[in-house]
């Protein structure tokens, strides 16, 4: 077994962790439509914050795909400022009361806390399940600390929405959905 773990001079190939730039791939292929909206300052995030955003969205979308009752859509909104990133994931399923928190949600709460943030999950205000997180961060100032393969979102990148089966729609920079345009009824007004 130890021989298997040895390097043998070949060098381990470490893939960069998934981040904000990789969220689009979570939007396709499931039983629910995923409405992904990115807004604000999401470029040059520290790698730990970038990876945490991806993991929070990944776990939340996966949970909705597996457990949401009578849902048709999952809405994901990520908004960045110079100091923090806010993440909101909700589905439009039937309100079933408070479910039991599994290891996934506990792990996400711990990850958010390690980054000076917090994560709340529970029934949505009107329907479905709602996950909200806020992560604090400081910008990377030197490109030399950005790992190879890291792909930050460009500051002028428009908000992107993905609807399963219909492809991507670009909404333009800093476009927010208006009431009734997101379809799920789970976004705060």
pLDDT tier for residue 103 given thresholds of 50, 70 and 90: confident
- The tens digit of pLDDT for each residue in 118-151 reads 999 999 888 899 999 999 987 554 443 444 454 4
**What's the pLDDT score for residue 126?**
86
pLDDT tier for residue 159 given thresholds of 50, 70 and 90: very low
Whole-angstrom distance, CA of residue 124 vs CA of residue 108: 18
Among left, alpha and beta (phi > 0; psi -120 to 50; other), residue 174 is left
Whole-angstrom distance, CA of residue 62 vs CA of residue 42: 23
Whole-angstrom distance, CA of residue 34 vs CA of residue 90: 10
Whole-angstrom distance, CA of residue 162 vs CA of residue 164: 6
State the Cα torsion 158-164-167-173 to the nearest 10°.
-10
**What's the pLDDT score for residue 28?**
77
Alpha helices, DSSP H, located in 11-76: 47-67
Please give the model's pTM, rounded to 2 decimal places.
0.68
CA nearest 150: which of 17, 6, 5, 3?
A: 17
């Amino acid at each position: 077994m130890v021989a298997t773990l040895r390097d043998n001079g070949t060098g381990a190939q470490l893939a960069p962790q998934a981040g904000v730039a990789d969220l689009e791939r979570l939007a396709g292929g499931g039983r629910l439509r995923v409405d992904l909206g990115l807004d604000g300052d999401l470029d040059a995030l520290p790698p730990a914050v970038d990876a945490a955003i991806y993991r929070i969205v990944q776990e939340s979308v996966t949970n909705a795909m597996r457990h949401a009752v009578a849902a048709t859509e999952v809405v994901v909104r990520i908004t960045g400022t110079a100091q923090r990133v806010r993440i909101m994931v909700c589905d439009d399923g039937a309100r079933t009361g408070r479910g039991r928190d599994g290891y996934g949600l506990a792990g996400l709460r711990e990850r958010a806390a390690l980054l000076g943030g917090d994560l709340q999950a529970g029934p949505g205000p009107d329907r479905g399940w709602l996950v909200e997180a806020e992560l604090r961060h400081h910008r990377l100032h030197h490109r030399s600390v950005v790992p190879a393969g890291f792909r930050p979102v460009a500051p002028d990148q428009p908000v992107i929405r993905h609807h399963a089966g219909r492809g991507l729609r670009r909404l333009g920079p800093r476009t927010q959905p208006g009431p009734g345009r997101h379809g799920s009824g789970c976004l705060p007004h």
